[in-house]
Amino acid sequence: MQTLKDLKALTAFLKETQVLSSAISLLSWDQETYMPSGSGQARAEQLSALMGLVHERQTGKEMSQLLSASVDLETGELKAGSSSGDARASALLREIWRDYHRATQLPSDFVRRMGLECSLAHQVWIEARNKNDFAHFAPSLKKIVALKKEEIDYLGYEASPYDPLLDTFEPGLTVAQIAPVFAALKEMLVPFVEKIAASPAQPKDDFLRAFYDEEKQIIFGKKVLAAMGFSFDAGRQDISAHPFTTSFHPTDVRITTRVDPHDLLSSLFSSIHEGGHGLYDQGLSVADFGTPLGESISLGIHESQSRLWENGVGRSRPFWRYFFPILKETFPDVLKGVEVEGFYAAINAVRPSMIRVESDEVTYNLHIMLRFEIERQLIEGDLKVDALPELWNAKMEEYLGVRPKTDAEGVLQDVHWSGGAFGYFPTYTLGNLYAAQFLNQAKKEMPELDARIEAGDLLPLKKWLNDKIHRWGRQYTSGELVQKVCGETLNPKYFSDHLHKKFGEIYRLE
């Protein structure tokens, strides 16, 4: 029987590969935060070369020799005597093979071309967004869509060409599974949004767009992050155009935010959101760094952590019973006369908006649905890139009743496509569903949780998540983990119940 110890040579090789990947992450982080404007081309070449080197290591002779000692490289089956009985070791081998198999499906040359194109496209996307001009970005996006189709050819698929893209971010997920979930959500959400819009009980929230000093916003956000247990000894927060989290190691996790002096919520909730991601990355096993047991399971599970903190905690009444007085001390003039109940209603105002990352809990998944549908049409059908802005705007009108006036507040708002991340958006909705399910379970196990949060003590929840989710890495698949933590598989009911209860009360629906 092989144990983790016997796999030492293999894991040492993986750790060294991960060091290269961490260097890529640092180059990308730097690109978003501090890189001088004139070095985009050089950085693109650097990223492409490094991605190629990583890919060569992931698929080369040394890797295949090390892995083939324990696993049949063709089928992924463990060889006789390989880690039978050691659950960690067999999960490790299963996940290493999954990564190996996926990586060997893509030629190194393709990985380099994709890396180079994405890095260049990213610069072009920034320019296009600044210029409000989709046509400037379209040629890059066309190249990326073509590359994704090439990628699908390498990966292969059974039911839908979109499946391997989903699988990239949420292992095992298929259109056949997720499309009905979206359909049910749409059926529930569109009339629910209309009902809310028709309610006479509309929260007053114009004070959220008064002037809030940027530095004070950042300082308040950092207080919240510290209370969540985000370690600034093992991480930091910077400013970037699009908030994100990246990790080089559990002791070096970087989150970013953006700050708008006339929008109190933008920086605050992006901080809490990325902080939730950051806690996951800081909570991964240091001992298993570089191997699948030290990695997050999937983007859906990752997003469940950010959304649980952002919405389940950060938009909850107990949280603000504690933090609102502190916020009021920070901005005494602007918040004079606002009480905690009014603030709670205001930050939960449901108002169809153009921008996904600033949308409320109710309409958020409609933004995702729109992207999911467009991506499927690009990948499964024959939708042309040039037709995107018009289709985007039409769907916004259909689902949310609002129509973007510019590309920047429409089709150009998200970074994802410029990075080739098709199949990524659905994991946001999955994250919302998992988040509601996990938080429901945490409250069941810790009936005092709301009281702790109301006392400003967020650490019991952080520790519960560390214990139940973070520390396992990829030992379980996302399905297995949800089953293990909650005693049942994915169940959208908790999310739906949460929305009806919370917004039913705020909007006084019958």
**Identity of the residue, 282 or 311, whose beta carbon is nearer to its own copies in the bound complex:** 282
Stretch that binds its own copies, among 38-46, 217-225, 258-266, 323-331 (CB under 8 A): 38-46
Stretch that binds its own copies, among 43-51, 219-227, 409-417, 428-436 (CB under 8 A): 43-51
Report the alpha-carbon distance of residue 278 to residue 252 in Å, rounded: 10
Find the shortest distance in angstroms from Cβ 477 to its own copies.
27
Find the shortest distance in angstroms from Cβ 228 to its own copies.
16
Closest CA to 204 of 4, 44, 349: 349
Report the alpha-carbon distance of residue 392 to residue 403 in Å, rounded: 9
Find the shortest distance in angstroms from Cβ 81 to its own copies.
31
**Identity of the residue, 277 or 307, whose beta carbon is nearer to its own copies in the bound complex:** 277
Locate tokens 């990948």: which residue?
379
Find the shortest distance in angstroms from Cβ 16 to its own copies.
5
**Identity of the residue, 59 or 83, whose beta carbon is nearer to its own copies in the bound complex:** 59
Out of 4, 6, 50, 113, which residue is the one contacting its own copies (CB under 8 A)?
50
Find the shortest distance in angstroms from Cβ 46 to its own copies.
5
Find the shortest distance in angstroms from Cβ 341 to its own copies.
38
Out of 4, 6, 27, 466, which residue is the one contacting its own copies (CB under 8 A)?
27
Based on the shown chain and the rule CB under 8 A, indicate whether residue 41 belongs to the binding site for its own copies. Answer: yes
Stretch that binds its own copies, among 45-53, 153-161, 184-192, 468-476 (CB under 8 A): 45-53
* From 95, 117, 274, 375, active-site residue: 274
**Identity of the residue, 6 or 45, whose beta carbon is nearer to its own copies in the bound complex:** 45
Out of 9, 16, 107, 489, which residue is the one contacting its own copies (CB under 8 A)?
16
**Identity of the residue, 22 or 64, whose beta carbon is nearer to its own copies in the bound complex:** 22
At residue 171, the 3 state secondary structure works out as coil
Find the shortest distance in angstroms from Cβ 147 to its own copies.
21
Based on the shown chain and the rule CB under 8 A, indicate whether residue 174 belongs to the binding site for its own copies. Answer: no
- Sequence-distant (≥ 6) Cβ neighbours of residue 352 within 8 angstroms: 193, 197, 359, 363, 400, 401, 402
Report the alpha-carbon distance of residue 241 to residue 258 in Å, rounded: 6
Find the shortest distance in angstroms from Cβ 259 to its own copies.
18
- In this structure, the strands spanning 245-249 and 252-257 are antiparallel
Q: Per-residue contact track with its own copies, 242 to 271, x per CB under 8 A?
A: ------xx-xx-------------------
φ, ψ for residue 252 (rounded to 5)?
A: -150, 85
**Identity of the residue, 248 or 428, whose beta carbon is nearer to its own copies in the bound complex:** 248
| Residues pairing with 247 in the sheet | 253
Q: Per-residue contact track with its own copies, 275 to 304, x per CB under 8 A?
A: --------------x---------------
Closest CA to 411 of 476, 492, 360, 356: 356
Report the alpha-carbon distance of residue 96 to residue 99 in Å, rounded: 5
Find the shortest distance in angstroms from Cβ 344 to its own copies.
33
- In this structure, the strands spanning 235-239 and 252-257 are parallel
Q: Known catalytic residue: 295? A: no
Out of 23, 218, 239, 334, which residue is the one contacting its own copies (CB under 8 A)?
23
The alpha-helical segments, DSSP class H, found in 351-448 are 364-379, 388-400, 426-445
Q: In what order do the strands lie in the sheet with 252-257?
A: 235-239, 252-257, 245-249
**Identity of the residue, 38 or 337, whose beta carbon is nearer to its own copies in the bound complex:** 38
Q: Which of residues 205-244 bind its own copies (CB under 8 A)?
A: 231-236, 238
Encode burial over 407-442: b for 16+ CB neighbours within 10 A, e otherwise.
bbbbbbbbbbbbbbbbbbbbbbbbbbbbbbbbbbbb
Burial-class residue 350 by CB neighbours within 10 Å (0-12, 13-18, 19+): buried
Based on the shown chain and the rule CB under 8 A, indicate whether residue 53 belongs to the binding site for its own copies. Answer: yes
Closest CA to 421 of 278, 303, 281, 291: 303
CB 439 within 8 A of CB 432: no
Report the alpha-carbon distance of residue 481 to residue 355 in Å, rounded: 32
Stretch that binds its own copies, among 35-43, 59-67, 336-344, 495-503 (CB under 8 A): 35-43
**Identity of the residue, 257 or 413, whose beta carbon is nearer to its own copies in the bound complex:** 257
Based on the shown chain and the rule CB under 8 A, indicate whether residue 30 belongs to the binding site for its own copies. Answer: yes
Based on the shown chain and the rule CB under 8 A, indicate whether residue 130 belongs to the binding site for its own copies. Answer: no
| Total of chain residues touching its own copies, rule CB under 8 A | 35
Out of 1, 9, 42, 135, which residue is the one contacting its own copies (CB under 8 A)?
42
Find the shortest distance in angstroms from Cβ 107 to its own copies.
17
CB 207 within 8 A of CB 335: yes
| Residues pairing with 263 in the sheet | 260
Report the alpha-carbon distance of residue 47 to residue 121 in Å, rounded: 13
Report the alpha-carbon distance of residue 473 to residue 281 in Å, rounded: 10
Residues recognised as catalytic:
274
Q: Which residues bind its own copies (CB under 8 A)?
A: 15-16, 19-20, 22-23, 26-27, 30, 34-39, 41-43, 45-46, 49-50, 53, 231-236, 238, 248-249, 251-252, 289
